[in-house]
């Protein structure tokens, strides 16, 4: 929620026009490494006088910036890669995350997490994980699982994209412009 002190006070209300200007600035950002990319976005937030919290859940956790707006709490995540696709590692793209992805030689693109990883695929991942956890529990409950050295096991999620550029290049992908447009259209 917008703080009362910001309404008609020192900071003008963040309207659709300023939000679109801000997004355009992000979309035009040149490539930078992860730390620099993140810092630049923080500077632009300041420049536009946009209220935000940096890494509200800690440095290793989503999102990088939380922005309270009249469209809801925007969770902005900065991604940088030398490749044309970002690395997600153990955290799949968050459905409600607004991603600002910069790539060496490609520039920057914007997308919502749920535009690149569908709800159907998320459900499929969840079903698979439940089954895997079930298998693990079954084995862990076997009496012979216990040994004198305490060896145990845990599953770690790892998400990545494979395939040729038509699927994995975020800049030449057929849906790139739709994804960017969906970001802009949200702030109408
Ligand atoms: Ca990040």
Indicate which CATH number applies to the domain containing 66: 3.40.1350
C-alpha of residue 80 to centroid of ligand 1, in Å: 8
* CA pair distance 26, 102, nearest whole angstrom: 9
Question: How confident is the model over 172-186, as a mean pLDDT?
Answer: 98
In-domain check, residue 73:
yes
Distance 152 CA to ligand 1 centre (A): 31
Query: 128 lies in a domain?
Result: no
Percent pLDDT > 70 in the chain is 94
Q: At what angle do helices 34-47 and 16-27 cross, to 10 degrees?
A: 150
Could you list which residues have their CB under 5 Å from ion ligand 1? 64, 78
Q: Is residue 133 part of a domain?
A: no
Report the separation in Å between the CA atom of 91 and the middle of ligand 1, taken as the mean of its atom positions. 11
Tokens of 171: 């800049």
Ligand 1 center from residue 57 Cα (angstroms): 12
Averaged pLDDT, 21-40: 98
pLDDT for residue 63: 97
Which string of DSSP letters, residue by residue, matches 81-144?
Answer: ESSSS---BTSPPPTTEEEEEEETTTEEEEEEHHHHS-HHHHHHHHHHHHHHHHHHHHHHTSGG
Instruction: Answer yes or no: is 145 within a domain.
Output: no
| Predicted confidence band of residue 188 (pLDDT cuts 50, 70, 90) | confident
In this structure, is residue 150 part of a structural domain?
A: no
Q: Is the pLDDT of residue 8 over 70?
A: no
Name the band, by pLDDT with cuts 50, 70 and 90, for residue 11.
low
Average pLDDT (25-36) is: 98
Å from CA of 22 to ligand 1 middle: 18
pLDDT score at 13:
78
On whether residue 2 sits in a domain, the answer given is: no
Query: pLDDT by residue (tens digit) across 65-120?
Result: 999 999 999 999 999 999 999 999 899 999 999 999 999 999 999 999 999 999 99
Q: Output the pLDDT for position 43.
A: 98
- Quote the pTM value: 0.89
Residue 64 domain boundaries: 7-118+158-186
Is 151 within a domain?
A: no
Number of separate domains in the chain: 1
Answer yes or no: is 80 within a domain.
yes
């Amino acid at each position: 929620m917008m703080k009362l002190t910001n309404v008609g006070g020192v900071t003008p209300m963040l309207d659709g026009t300023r939000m679109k200007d801000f997004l355009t600035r992000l979309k035009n950002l040149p490539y930078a490494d992860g730390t620099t990319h993140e810092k630049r976005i923080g500077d632009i937030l300041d420049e536009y006088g946009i209220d935000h919290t940096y890494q509200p859940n800690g440095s290793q956790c989503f999102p990088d910036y939380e922005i309270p707006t009249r469209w809801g709490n925007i969770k902005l995540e900065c991604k940088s890669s030398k490749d044309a696709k970002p690395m997600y590692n153990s955290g799949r793209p968050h459905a409600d995350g607004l991603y600002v992805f910069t790539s060496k030689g490609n520039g920057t693109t914007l997308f919502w997490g749920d535009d690149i990883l569908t709800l159907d695929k998320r459900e499929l991942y969840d079903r698979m994980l439940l089954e895997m956890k079930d298998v693990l529990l079954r084995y862990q409950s076997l009496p012979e699982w216990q040994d004198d050295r305490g060896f145990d096991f845990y599953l770690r999620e790892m998400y990545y994209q494979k395939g040729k550029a038509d699927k994995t290049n975020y800049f030449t992908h057929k849906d790139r412009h739709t994804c960017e447009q969906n970001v802009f259209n949200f702030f109408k």
